[in-house]
Amino acid sequence: MIKRQSNDDRSEAKKRALEFLCTQHVLTLATHGKGGVWSAALYYVNVDFKLIFLSASSTRHVKNLVGNSHVAVSINENNIEWTSIRGLQFEAEVEQITDPSEIAEVQVCYANKFPVIGSQAPAEITKALSRVNWYICNPTLMYFIDNSLGLGHRDLIMLD
C-alpha cells in the first residue's frame, strides 16, 4: 500500500528541503536544444525555492533555454556513503531577469552568498559580471531525496 504524506509530514519535508537548499552552492542544470541535451554546473542563490543563477548568453545551456525554458535540475551533496545521500531533483521553468531593479536586487543576494562578487570584487570578476545575464529558475515539481531516512527515501515537496 502506498503511504500518503500527511500535511505535517509534507511541511516537515519542505522545511528540511529548504534548509538543505540554503546550505548548498552548486546546481546542475539540464537543458535540451537543437544540439541535444546538455548539463552545466552553476552557482546559485535561492529565494525560498526559486533559484537565481548567472551565465553568459554564449553558453550552450543558455542557447538551449532560448528555445526551451523547461529544465531539470539537481542539487546534491558529494557523499561516498549511500546512506548519507541527500539532494533535490526537480523540473522548472527558467526566465531571464531583465528588469534593472530586479537585477540589482539579485546581485545583492548573490554578493551576500558569494562575497567575491561584491563591492570589493577583483577587476577580473567585475569584467566577467558585465558579460553575463541573470536567470531565475522556478520549480514546478520537486523531490527531496534523503537516504538518512531510509535507502531511496524521497519526499514530494509541495510548492505554492
Q: Which pLDDT does position 7 carry in this prediction?
A: 57
Helical H segments across 24-137, by residue range: 60-67, 100-113, 123-129
Q: Which pLDDT does position 3 carry in this prediction?
A: 43
Q: How far apart (Å, rounded) are the C-alpha atoms in residues 55 and 128?
A: 10
Q: How far apart (Å, rounded) are the C-alpha atoms in residues 115 and 73?
A: 24
More confident residue, 50 or 129: 50
Question: Are 146 and 19 contacting, i.e. CB atoms less than 8 angstroms apart?
Answer: no
What's the rounded mean pLDDT across residues 50-64? 96
Question: Are 62 and 133 contacting, i.e. CB atoms less than 8 angstroms apart?
Answer: yes
Give the number of C-alpha atoms closer than 13 A to the C-alpha of residue 98, restricted to the C-beta side.
3
Q: Which pLDDT does position 9 carry in this prediction?
A: 61
Instruction: Give 67-110 pLDDT, tens digit per residue.
Output: 999 999 999 998 888 888 999 999 999 999 999 999 999 999 99
Domains of the chain: residue spans and CATH: 7-157 (2.30.110.10)
**What average pLDDT is seen over the chain?**
91
Is pTM beyond 0.85 here? yes
